[in-house]
Structure 1
Amino acid sequence: MLFNKPMDKTLTLTANAKINLTLDVLAKRTDGYHEVAMIMQSIDLADRLTFREQPSGIAMQTNVAGLPVDRRNLAYQAAELVKSTFQIKTGIHIELNKEIPLSAGLAGGSADAAGVLTGLNSWWKLGLTLDELCDLGAVLGSDVPFCLHGGTMLATGRGELLTPVAAMPPCYIVLAKPAASVSTAWVYRNYRPGAVEVHPDTAAMLAFLRQADLAGVAGKLANVLESVTIARHPEIGQLKAWMVQCGAMASLMSGSGPTVFGLAADREEAESIAAKLRNLSNAQIIVAKTVGGMRGENAAKIITN
């Protein structure tokens, strides 16, 4: 399969980060993964990917020093998967401009992989549906299908089985990413159900989403993996406490950590919380906003073509 395009033609898209409104671990699966139930939400913090044709192979460049641009990078793996699956002979150059912090619990790598799948589907005119893209994405990682869908979704199985739910009421998100480095695999290996004090009430969270009740949503934020990550990195618990002290409606660790987020009803309040946190902590502080919409509408989004 060969495609001819002017060598100066480019395609650029954005790939959104996510936060977890809830995260529950239900059981250890026979395949080594964990059965989970979690509600995930897209935010407008996003990486940018630009595609250009090259004669053969895959080349990547990025604005982050030390970030692998070979098979260790999930975005590169996504490009390899598309090329091998559809026997694409022409090459692709991918420029990745990262805004989502690395190893943050915000699905930055999965978002980039979703962006590559979306971008190459358009670039090579493969005509894949969103569901077909998600089947490919699930091969790469559990969060990739969600990053292809975007919006507000209930994720079950190992995270790849998605059910659309009522959109989260629009609000601002204050992110605090401490310097701690956290391995998702390590967190799940060390998860012990007996150490969890509060499990998410998924039914109640879904009800508050249907009611567009932001205060209700804030009151039901819960993540069982905090029992592992905060025990090893108590500064994450301190960030959660500071977030609320600075005015957030509620605060939670996203994913396996270490990023903590807080909810704010408007930008003014979010910026005030962020300013106070910068005086208290050396964590990276970012203000973002929730994004919603129909399936696929607010995931990896082509902005120039």
Structure 2
Amino acid sequence: MLPSRLRLLQIALIVLVAFQHSLPVHGFAPSHQHPTRTHSLSAESNTEAIPTELNLFSPCKINLFLRILRKRPDNFHDLASLFQAVGFGDTLHLSLAPSDADADEFTCNMEGVPVDSTNLVLRALELMRQRTGKEVYFQADLVKRVPAQAGLGGGSANAATAMWGANELMGRPAGLEELIEWSAELGSDITFFLSRGTAYCTGRGEIMTPIDPPLPAGSKLSIVKPDLGLSTPKVFSALDYDQLSKEDPEMLLNTFLKEGVVNTDDKYYINDLEQPAFDCLPELKALKEELLEVKGFDHVMMSGSGTSIFCIGEPEDKEGFMREFDDREGISVFNAEFISREQGCWFKSP
């Protein structure tokens, strides 16, 4: 009888241990363990400690095509555009402020960039507090390289980067879908930078259809930026609606995705804002015509509302190209490539 009783006790202990280990971690956890926290930004469980500071790359974008469809009753315009992230951008240093802080601290290296509440980085941080209900403040230092009024979405990228970073430092209270929804409150292009790097954007630019997988990373390009600025309102005010392209944007999108960036015919590289921008700045049109003569570039077009012109490919004579354009007074050249980000991670500088 004694062996039988011992055997029963052994079985009972085995069942008890098995029962404890089978309980879901969010339903029960011993006091010395922490529940595993899953998050929609990543398919994997996140057991890492919440960071207190981040250094984040803030990429810029180009518009592989940009169609202006119509003027809306609110005086904005409906557009359709294929956006692509590129590996030229800024760096945002973001950290938690001391626990007794009651305001964000913000600095920027570029002269002329506002450091008050009008800056999109500070507006993004405030939006995150409002939407999450977390009274957390930050110290932010923005190291800018992307020039203003370039058509590259530098400020929009800064805002999206700040939202992502704040969410990480807060412990990820928001999912990616929420960040995308909230970002539309700050501006038209911000939503794009929460994609993986390629997206078809409509509405004012805030309605994003991600392209997954994104266009292949690594495609080379040069961004040529004259020291000339054009505000987006000024460009739109010069828009001649009779000169808008008639091409169906869905057809343009399908062509780019089917043929690829290099093999897509030049006639599909359409930017409806080139006409008003070139009317405002004829020297910008002259610069594009010069770049079209450079051997090695597959496609040349202005990005967004200007004034940057991107050149897909690589010049045959790289040194000669840089001497001719980057060394010229009043012009800067930034060599870059297409980039994308991994699911659940932020963009990395190539």
TM-score of the aligned structures, taking structure 2 as reference length: 0.76
Residue equivalent to 2:102: 56
Structural RMSD (CA): 2.5
Structure-2 change in CA distance of 1:105 and 1:12 (3 Å): same
CA distance in 2, matches of 1:11, 1:257: 31
Structure-2 change in CA distance of 1:52 and 1:164 (3 Å): closer
Matched, 1:147 2:193: yes
Residue equivalent to 2:20: none
1:131 Cα deviation from its structure 2 partner: 1.5
In the TM superposition, what whole-angstrom CA distance separates every residue of 1:130-178 from its partner, at most 9, and x where no partner exists? 2210111100001000011142211111111112336435421111111
Residue equivalent to 1:252: 301
Residue equivalent to 2:73: 30
Percent identity for Structure 1 against Structure 2: 29
Matched, 1:262 2:308: no
Unaligned runs of 5+ in 1: 1-7
1:104 Cα deviation from its structure 2 partner: 0.9
1:205 Cα deviation from its structure 2 partner: 4.5
In the TM superposition, what whole-angstrom CA distance separates every residue of 1:240-296 from its partner, at most 9, and x where no partner exists? 1111212221211100011111111x5876665444323556311111101135667
Q: Which structure exhibits the higher relative contact order, with contacts defined as CA atoms closer than 8 Å and separated by 6 or more residues?
A: 1
Q: Mapping of 1:70-81 within 5 angstroms?
A: 70-81=116-127
Unaligned runs of 5+ in 2: 1-50
Matched, 1:186 2:234: yes
Q: Secondary structure at the match of 1:287?
A: strand
CA distance in 2, matches of 1:92, 1:213: 40
Residue equivalent to 1:40: 83
Cα contact 1:274–1:287 (8 A) shared by 2: no
Matched, 1:121 2:167: yes
Residue equivalent to 1:301: 347
Matched, 1:14 2:63: no
1:65 Cα deviation from its structure 2 partner: 1.7
Structure-2 change in CA distance of 1:206 and 1:83 (3 Å): same
CA distance in 2, matches of 1:86, 1:197: 42
Cα contact 2:63–2:83 (8 A) shared by 1: yes
Matched, 1:168 2:215: yes
CA distance in 1, matches of 2:275, 2:264: 23
Matched letter for residue 180 of structure 1: L
1:71 Cα deviation from its structure 2 partner: 1.6
Larger radius of gyration: 2
Structure-2 change in CA distance of 1:208 and 1:25 (3 Å): closer
1:204 Cα deviation from its structure 2 partner: 3.9
Q: Secondary structure at the match of 1:214?
A: coil
Q: Secondary structure at the match of 2:115?
A: coil
TM-score of the aligned structures, taking structure 1 as reference length: 0.87
Cα contact 1:21–1:40 (8 A) shared by 2: yes
Q: Which moved more, 1:195-204 or 1:119-128?
A: 195-204
Matched letter for residue 21 of structure 1: L
What is the number of residues matched between the two proteins?
Answer: 293
